Structure 1
Amino acid sequence: MTGAFLAGLVAGYGVAVPVGAIAILILGLSARTSFRVGAAAALGVAAADGLYAAVAALGGAAVAGLIAPVAGPLRLAAAAVLLALAGHGAWRALRPRAATGTTGARRGLDTPPRAFAGVLALTLLNPATVVYFAALVLGRGDAADPDPRAAALFVLGAFVASASWQLLIAGGGTLVGRVLAGPRGRLVTALLSSAIIAALAVAMLLPD
């Protein structure tokens, strides 16, 4: 059973470590707001990865086959959402300070519940994750007759790996935010984050 947990751990790090738009989004959120917001976003990613790992562990090849036809539209939707977030982040950074206020309600992903729900939904728009996990499950030979305990340990390992890595990114964003604590530093951080997210979103639209 330990082997299933370790397999999930390795699989989770395999899907989490490559830096993409979501990682940059978490980094920027932590730098602009607080570690609590970044951590909530990080756990949203981990929850999505854990869910996809569970679906793959229980469904295997059948799930991968169902996901394949809608992979293209989901990728377009994810790119559109990322571009919207990048534009919104840049607009908020550039608008006059007097218009932002300090007492108004925060919007977007700037609260822990919104960060968790928003990033969870955005991560679920990436069907490649479930295909990735399904391929690993099939490679281990567990898909034909999945053991519920082994599947649960595989999912737990994937969740722990994803959560630990994404929380590390959130912590790094918090450190960046403290170093660049002034208005100019936060402006640069927000604009750079938005630019990178937009570039990665455009890259998602390019043919493989």
Structure 2
Amino acid sequence: MSGGVVAGLVAGYGIAVPVGAVGTYLVGLAARTSWRVGACAALGVASADGVYALLAVGGGSALAPLIEPLARPLQALSAVVLLALAALGAVRAVTAYRRRQGPGAARGDAVRPVRAYFGLLGVTLMNPVTVLYFAALVLGGQGTTTATPWDKAGFVAAAFAASASWQLLLAAGGTLLARTLTTPTARLTTALVSSAVIAALALHLAAG
């Protein structure tokens, strides 16, 4: 296994494993919709990580100073979007509960897999910290392992694969969670807790 692949796996898991607002939303989305929707959303998150890994190995030294001034506004925008998603999730959960269907039964065609993919892709791309993270790894310690085009490609592919595997695990966890919730009240409670956690993390992101 090349050094680029190893570095990519380490970097991909390093950015993916800490579960923040996006990860929490992914679990909640999979719980109230389906595995298919959750998996597409997971791949949207991983695709964003892959794009940022590609940008980092392609020109991290040039991108870092350009992105840093935009980091704060994009971070605030990301927090606003996450707060909107949290509110939307809570409203849908309450509406479904009042109809005595439970949040899981409200899934229907409300969220399409393609929509879930591009929605999570967009939200994750709003986080410029990701590209700065990958750029710091490439420039500060992994530069020697990504010297050749093959090593660079291995780094990007491995970073994407690592992120995808973790995000898919979160989606699977959400699907399993939905199967254990057999009453409308339990599903409503879980959905509201998920929305509250997302909102809290989004506010923390905005404050940071």
Q: Do these two structures clear the TM 0.5 threshold for a shared fold by scoring above it?
A: yes
Please name the residue that 1:20 is paired with: 20
Secondary structure at the aligned position of 2:6 is classed as helix
Taking structure 1 as reference, are residues 181 and 40 closer, same or farther at Cα in structure 2, changes over 3 Å only?
Answer: farther
Would you say how many aligned residue pairs link Structure 1 and Structure 2?
203
| Cα distance change of structure 1 residues 197 and 131 upon mapping to structure 2, 3 Å threshold | same
1:88-114 CA-to-partner distances (Å, cap 9, x unmatched) read 1111111232799x799733xx22111
1:101-140 equivalences in 2 (<5 Å): 106-107=109-110, 110-140=111-141
Q: Which residue of 2 aligns with 1:90?
A: 90
Counterpart in the other structure of 1:66: 66
Distance 1:185 1:98, change over 3 A: closer
**Distance between the aligned counterparts of 2:165 and 2:176, measured in 1?**
17
In the alignment, which residue of structure 2 is the partner of 1:189? Answer: 190
Contact 1:42/1:170 (CA < 8 Å) preserved in 2? yes
CA offset digits 1:153-193 (Å, max 9, x no partner): 00011001000000011111111100013211221121111
State the one-letter code of the partner of 1:37: V
CA distance in 2, matches of 1:183, 1:2: 50
Determine the C-alpha separation between the residues in 2 that align with 1:62 and 1:181: 52
Partners of 2:45 and 2:68 in 1: CA distance: 21
Computed over aligned residues only, the root mean square deviation of the Cα atoms, in angstroms, reads 2.1
Aligned twin of 1:30 = 30
Would you identify which runs of 4 or more consecutive aligned residues in structure 1 move more than 6 Å? 102-105
Gaps of 5+ in 2: none
Cα shift readout 1:41-76 (whole Å, capped 9, x = no counterpart): 100010000000000001111111111010011001
Measure, in 1, the Cα distance between the counterparts of 2:106 and 2:35. Answer: 20
Distance 1:127 1:16 in 2: 14
Mean Cα displacement is larger for which, 63-72 or 180-189? 180-189
- Unaligned 5+ residue runs, structure 1? none
- Given the two structures, how large is their TM-score scaled by the length of structure 1? 0.91
Residue identity matched to 1:199: A
The superposition leaves residues 70-90 of structure 1 with CA deviations (integer Å, 9 ceiling, x where unpaired) of 001100100000000001111
Cα distance, 1:104–1:90 mapped onto 2, change above 3 Å: closer
CA distance in 2, matches of 1:57, 1:82: 29
Give the CA deviation at 1:141. 5.8
Amino acid corresponding to residue 186 of structure 1 in structure 2: R
What is the alpha-carbon distance in structure 2 between the residues aligned to residue 14 and residue 147 of structure 1?
23
Corresponding residue number in structure 1 for 2:143: 142
Partner of 1:49: 49
**Identity of matched residues, %:** 56
- Distance, in Å, in 2 between the alignment partners of 1:181 and 1:37 is 20
Relative to 1, partners in 2 of residues 1:141 and 1:176: Cα closer, same or farther, differing over 3 Å?
closer
1:133 and 1:152 map into 2 onto residues whose CA distance is 14
